[in-house]
Chains A and B, each alone.
Chain A
Amino acid sequence: DIQMTQSPSSVAASVGDRVTITCRASQGIRSYLAWYQQKPGKAPQLLIYAASSLQSGVPLRFSGSGSGTDFTLTISSLQPEDFATYYCQQANSFPYTFGQGTKLEIK
């Protein structure tokens, strides 16, 4: 199985800050990488697919980059509604695997 490792596991930031979350795959996954946002008690929501493509309806402050083994999710200017947990997921091969999550908290 491909292991996905996110860093940091948690981060505290303020409204207006720029935040970057990284995801590393244990082997190359080309650009088959997705990012999700999950709020407490809710299902995850797709933010980014194919490493850098913005899902319809997702604000432009979210962006993704990377290919191969190293990927990043960037939020350019944090808004109050962005405080949540973020997961990466590889879709290069079955079994699909997720990172352990990054909890974004208010500073």
Chain B
Amino acid sequence: QLQLQESGPGLVKPSETLSLTCTVSGVSISSSTTFYWGWIRQPPGKGLEWVGSIYYSGNTHYNPSLKSRVTISVDTSKNQFSLKVTSVTGADTAVYYCARHEAVAGSFDSWGQGTLVTVSS
């Protein structure tokens, strides 16, 4: 059974880098040729925002709203993928979810439980 679990610091200082890892269990990222692995965030009390996605080969797509601050990488040997957001501000405070989506249909069919990241000094 597929499970995704986010991990990383819950508190990040302004201007620093937010780093999260999603550990995938129950399926191999490198064998999942019809899926992408993505990050979605949700500020407290607000809606969902897609951050970016990565294919097992390393091909990435990012949300232009985060400009060049976002990097997503994959480590197939550890069955993990990771998110980095640089130069964070209070606007980056959110629950961050990792999730899997179909490469064609694009729907997110499996999600992690989410992790709250607060940007504050």
Residues of A within 8 A of B (CB): 1, 32, 34, 36, 42-46, 49-50, 55, 87, 89-92, 94-101
Tally chain B residues at the interface, Cβ within 8 Å: 23
Considering the complex, give the chain B residue whose CB is closest to the CB of A91. Answer: B106
A43 near B112: Cβ-Cβ < 8 Å: yes
**Interface residues of A: mostly helix, strand, loop or mixed?**
loop
Interface readout for B85-110 with A: 1 if CB under 8 Å, 0 if not? 00000000000010101100111110
Q: Which residue in B63, B97, B102, B113 is a CB contact (below 8 Å) of A95?
A: B63
Give bound CA distance, A90 to B108, whole Å: 11
Give bound CA distance, A51 to B45, whole Å: 26
Give bound CA distance, A31 to B115, whole Å: 31
Report chain A residues within 8 Å CB of B112: 43
B64 near A95: Cβ-Cβ < 8 Å: yes
Give bound CA distance, A94 to B62, whole Å: 8
Question: Max chain A CB contacts within 10 Å: which of B53, B99, B106?
Answer: B106
Q: Which residue in A34, A43, A95 is a CB contact (below 8 Å) of B114?
A: A43
